[in-house]
Amino acid sequence: MKNKLTLILIEDDPVACLEMQTYFDTCEDMLLVESTNDSNIGLKLVCAHLPNVVLLDLELHHGGGNGLVFLDDLKKLQMSHTPYIIVTTHNMSDVTLEQARLLGADFIITKYDANYSPEYIANTIRLMHGAILRKNTSVAQLVDVSPAQLENLVEKRIQREMELIGINPKNKGFNYLVDSIHNHMKDPSINLARSIVSKYGKSEKSIERAMQNAIKRAWDTNDIEDLLKYYTARIRPDKGFPTLMEFVCYYSTKIKSDVAAEKLGNKSW
């Protein structure tokens, strides 16, 4: 699985979805992770899974949103991990297809094409394998980001990192952890729980307990390979999961490093 290219499918035709899933289940070099007929949900899936490739139906007449909305929203996120986007469409308008390219579509396949099939799409991906990986790891040069946009971008990245290891907004400690990591990025000397007491109206002990429980639950319930993939710091064998401070410091350092590498403005952290 580690060597497979991962895919997210955004498609509103249930027959096409089934054909895609059936075909990719037979592939040893690709994995279709999830599919949806809604562009907004598709955006969340991309943020959560960071796929190598997105297969995007442009119209989504029987779903939610559309492919152009998805491309525009994805562009606004300014993610450092950039998926390779294959647009599939019945639309033959040069104006529409050019706009899709301007918004970030890498390859456009018309469904009227006689060769159109899951196998045709898979073979196209195989031909682009090296280019796809290079695009996934390319560093975005986001130099024209306002301080407010930067704050929002950093918060979204912290949220994404939490969801990658199974800590989602349903977890009681999710928002506490996001705020604590964000605050620690600005001031490493702060008391984590005390810095958000006034925001949530909870006691320090209650906030600390919720954050530590969220971390422990992630390590108790999620696949260890995924945890090791996304959390690379050393964990004491006798404990089995990070302490709260270890966890916050790891993500504070990681995201600050990403921000610096991507040259997100001149803000001092």
Q: For 232-255, how does the pLDDT look when each residue is reduced to its tens digit (9 = 90+)? A: 998 877 789 999 999 999 999 988
Residue with tokens 């994805």: 74
The band of 49, judged by pLDDT with boundaries at 50, 70 and 90, is confident
Q: 153-180 b/e with 16+ CB inside 10 Å = b?
A: bbeebbbbbbbbbbbeeebebbbbbbbb
Q: How far apart are the first and last CA of the chain?
A: 37
Check pLDDT > 80 for residue 150.
no
Q: For 27-48, how does the pLDDT look when each residue is reduced to its tens digit (9 = 90+)? A: 999 999 999 999 999 998 898 8
Cβ contacts of residue 212 below 8 Å, gap of 6+?
Answer: 173, 243, 244
Instruction: Please give the residue that has the higher pLDDT: either 4 or 265.
Output: 4
* Model pTM score: 0.57
Query: Residue 176 — φ and ψ, nearest 5°?
Result: -60, -45
Quick one: which H or E segment has residue 21?
helix 14-24
Q: For 85-138, how does the pLDDT look when each residue is reduced to its tens digit (9 = 90+)? A: 999 999 999 999 999 999 999 999 999 989 999 999 999 999 999 899 888 866
**Residue range 4-33: mean pLDDT, rounded:** 95
Compute the Cα dihedral for 142, 146, 147, 149 and give only its sign.
negative
Check pLDDT > 80 for residue 204.
yes
Instruction: Please give the residue that has the higher pLDDT: either 263 or 83.
Output: 83
Q: Which domains does the chain have, with CATH numbers?
A: 5-137 (3.40.50.2300), 147-261 (1.10.10.10)
Taking the C-alpha atoms of residue 195 and residue 139, their distance in angstroms, rounded to an integer, is 32
* Distance from the Cα of residue 73 to its chain's centroid: 13
Taking the C-alpha atoms of residue 197 and residue 203, their distance in angstroms, rounded to an integer, is 6
Residue with tokens 């779903």: 63
Cβ contacts of residue 268 below 8 Å, gap of 6+?
Answer: none
Beta bridge partners of 36: 10
Check pLDDT > 60 for residue 139.
no
Check pLDDT > 80 for residue 142.
no
**Residue range 154-167: mean pLDDT, rounded:** 87
**Residue range 131-155: mean pLDDT, rounded:** 72
Q: Compute the CA torsion angle 65, 150, 104, 22 (nearest 10 deg).
A: -60
